Structure 1
Amino acid sequence: MRIGELAHQAGVTVKAVRYYESLGLITPTRLSNGYRDYSEVDVRHTAEIRALARLGIPVERTQPFLDCLSAGHPHADDCPASLAEYRDAIADLTARIHGLTTRRDALIAHLNRAAHRGCTTTPADQGTDMPDFTSLPADLPVPADDGAADHLPGTPLPPLVLRATDGSTITLDELGPGRTVIYLYPLTGRPGIDLPEGWDAIPGARGCSTEACDFRDHYRDLVDAGATQVFGCSSQDVDYQREVVERLHLPFPMLSDPNLELARALDLPTFAPGDLDRYRPFTPNIRDELYSRLTMIVREGLIEHVFYPIFPPNEHAGQVLRWLRAHLH
């Protein structure tokens, strides 16, 4: 057969066939008129080269597989030399993966150092080039009360176990006596990473860091007003949340609910921002669905009171404090 027919049957280009031939991987016969004549064996070898290339084995290293076919074996990897080539290719990929992982980790470390250089918890002390997550832009849309939390007061917390940033695990239906404050939030920004596109236009989305800072600044007052525990909770990984706790110097732990189990158990409101790819290198298990901002006051295993919707988030801890003081008994 002619070279064009071979290329068509094997699913490659004519240029690729000529390259394989230059390497001696396929050896057509010559007709009396000087034209090359390719056989079904050449088709099989060419298709095998293509399949191996898709696995990541370079064309130049496919000879052992073709020799195995030429020896009469039904499969190109029936021979010890073929298996050895698999092992060598795997070793090469492993080395490349290690090298790329090392480079990625180094880049992340440089990004974090650069992003946090001069970053403090107060806007006045931040470098002029640093994004300020501790203040809010003007004219943020105010979230409307859609009734999505009306069913929660009087509802018992489910027996879910969530990981906390201090290394502990918290069983939600075993919070103990007294009042526990659990504020749910969508996603805290991190220096060096842009917020999801359109984030400020989503009612109630912006302000997670400012809310955390407000709970930090009111933490002692909340305890004095009867809050035995305060937790922030989101669907981000514990490691991602731990960075926030350390950077903002939060005196309370965050809870991680990566599968939104609490949302499913209590039918809590969530939303999908649709642009979270830039966060995946730092929190790989991040979901496309995030918690809507909501705070629960829990007492003796029951949800006693709910704040929803919440606005402005940078003043919300003060709202919780006023409620606790009004119900101090």
Structure 2
Amino acid sequence: MKISELARRAGVTTKAVRYYESLELITPERLSNGYRNYTEDDVRLVREIRTLQRLGIPVERTRPFLECLAAGRPYADDCPASLASYREAIDELTERIEALTARRATLIGNLNAAAHRGSGVGSPEETGRGSGEYLTLPADLPVPEDDGAADQLPGAKVPPIVLRNTADKAIRLDALGPRRAVIYIYPLTGRPGTDLPEGWNSIPGARGCTPETCGFRDHFQDLLEAGAGRVFGLSSQDTDYQNEVVERLRLPFDMLSDPALSLADGLGLPTFEADGRRLFKRLTLIVRDGAVEHAFYPIFPPNEHAQQVLTWLREHPL
């Protein structure tokens, strides 16, 4: 067969085939007219090279596997030299993972330090004039009851909803990946100079969004180390409002804005009315592979909730 047919059947380019020939990984016969003639064996060899490349083994180091096939073995890794190549590739990958893990830990440490720098909790000068009232909880807050409104959530598929975050990126909630995403959902955060809805403190589970958020900020690094891939706060407040919260509280994670409460409608999340507005009830979702793995509801006290999530992650490692 011609080189173009070989490339098509093996799923590579003709340029790649010529490169393999230059390394003498494949050696097609020459016809009397000078043209190369490729065989089914060459197709098998090129496919094997492509498979090994996908595993991270460089083309130049696939020779032991190809020689194993050429020796008549049914599998390219039936030979001792192939196994040695596996071990070598694994050792190199382990070194890379360890280096990346160390780099990630340093970045998380830097992010955590930057998030806490100058962010003394309760200080009007550091968190915004008048904001101290939002960082403390009254002693007589009513405790929310478990009304069963979240019982259906574990195992539920997350709908393909796209929300904007405070980094101005579109986040698709059902495509957050195989790592656990912590999404804590809250009614609204108070802001200096902005009145809370009338009777806010008397609504079970309403008060405490800012202390809850500060808890996730303070435990952010611990949550990542416990297996959380991402952390998001989510409310119906618009992105501009949430950006102010991110800056004032120096949050190391992004917030998601869902002004239409589309996630509440898509998953059947509990909501309530205040000042003529429909708001999320406070709950937290652990999302993995497009499904709800666990739901925290009801949540009380909100200022201790991040620690509750951290405890759960540590007790349920993947």
Instruction: Tell me which interval the TM-score lies in, with the shorter structure as reference length.
Output: 0.5 to 0.7
Q: Secondary structure at the match of 1:289?
A: strand
Structure 2 counterpart of 1:130? 130
Residues 59-80 of structure 1: per-residue CA shift (max 9 Å, x gap)? xxxxxxxxxxxxxxxxxxxxxx
Secondary structure in 2 aligned to 1:272? strand
Residues 218 and 318 in structure 1, CA contact (< 8 A), matched pair in contact too: yes
Counterpart of 1:184 in structure 2 is 185
| Equivalent residue, structure 1, for 2:165 | 164
Q: Which residue of 2 is the match for residue 230 of structure 1? A: 231
What are the equivalent positions in structure 2 for 1:88-237 lying under 5 Å apart? 121-124=120-123, 130-132=130-132, 133-237=134-238
User: Structure 1, residues 30-70: CA drift from partner, whole Å, max 9, x if none?
Assistant: xxxxxxxxxxxxxxxxxxxxxxxxxxxxxxxxxxxxxxxxx
* 1:189-236 Cα shifts (integer Å, max 9, x gaps): 000112111000000000000000000000000000000000000011
Q: Which residue of 1 aligns with 2:291?
A: 302
- Cα displacement string for residues 126-167 of structure 1 (whole angstroms, at most 9, x for unaligned residues): 599724211111110000000000000000100000000011
**Helix, strand or coil: the match of 1:200?**
helix
| Residue 323 in structure 1 maps to residue 312 in structure 2 | yes
**Secondary structure of the residue that 1:221 maps to in structure 2?**
helix
1:72-83 to 2 correspondences below 5 Å: none
TM-score normalized with structure 1 length:
0.58
CA distance in 2, matches of 1:178, 1:161: 18
Separation in 2 of the partners of 1:194 and 1:224? 37
Q: Decide which structure has the larger Cα Rg and report it.
A: 1
Name the aligned partner's letter for residue 145 of structure 2: A
2:279 maps to 290
Measured in 1, the distance between the counterparts of 2:150 and 2:221 equals: 28
User: Counterparts of 1:155 and 1:209 in 2: how far apart (Å)?
Assistant: 28
Q: CA separation in 1, counterparts of 2:270 and 2:154?
A: 15
Q: Is the 8 A contact 2:119 2:250 kept in 1?
A: no
Partner AA of 2:243 in structure 1: R
Specify the SS of the correspondent of 1:212.
helix
2:286–2:292 Cα contact (<8 Å) kept? yes
Find the aligned partners of 2:119 and 2:283 in 1 and give their Cα distance. Answer: 27
User: d(CA) in 2 for partners of 1:168 and 1:158?
Assistant: 18
AA aligned to 1:156 is K
- Give the CA deviation at 1:299: 1.1
- Shift of the 125–257 alpha-carbon distance from structure 1 to 2, 3 Å rule, reads closer
Contact 2:124–2:131, Cα closer than 8 Å, also in 1:
no
The alpha carbon displacement at 1:121 in A equals 4.5
* Alignment check: 8 A CA contact 2:161 2:173 kept: yes
Q: Supply the distance in 2 between the matched residues of 1:248 and 1:138 (Cα, whole angstroms).
A: 23
Task: Please tell me whether the aligned partners of residues 186 and 235 of structure 2 are also in contact (alpha carbons under 8 angstroms).
Answer: yes
Distance 2:285 2:122 in 1: 29
The answer (yes or no) to whether the contact 2:183–2:231 under 8 Å persists in 1 is yes
Q: Who is 2:303 aligned against? A: 314
SS of 2:246's equivalent? helix
Query: Where has structure 1 moved over 6 Å in runs of 4 or more?
Result: none
Which sections of structure 2, spanning at least 5 residues, go unmatched?
A: 1-117
Deviations 1:101-144, CA, capped at 9 Å, x for gaps:
xxxxxxxxxxxxxxxxxx95411565997242111111100000
Q: Find the counterpart in structure 1 of residue 254 from structure 2.
A: 253
Aligned residues: 199
Rounded Cα–Cα distance in structure 1 between residues aligned with 2:194 and 2:174: 36
Residue equivalent to 1:239: 240
2:274 corresponds to: 273
The CA deviation string for residues 236-294 of structure 1, in whole angstroms up to 9 with x for no partner, is 1000010001100010000000101010011100001126xxxxxxxxxxxx1000000
Instruction: Determine helix, strand or coil for the equivalent of 2:307.
Output: helix
Given the two structures, how large is their TM-score scaled by the length of structure 2?
0.60
AA partner of residue 256 (structure 1): S
Identity of aligned residues (%): 63
Judge which range, 139-148 or 192-201, deviates more.
192-201
Specify the SS of the correspondent of 2:274. coil
Q: Give, in whole Å, the separation in 2 of the partners of 1:172 and 1:151.
A: 18
On the 8 A contact 1:245/1:253 being kept in 2, the answer is: yes
Amino acid at match of 1:322: T
Q: What runs of 5+ residues in structure 1 fail to find an aligned partner?
A: 1-118, 276-287
Matched to 2:215, the amino acid is D
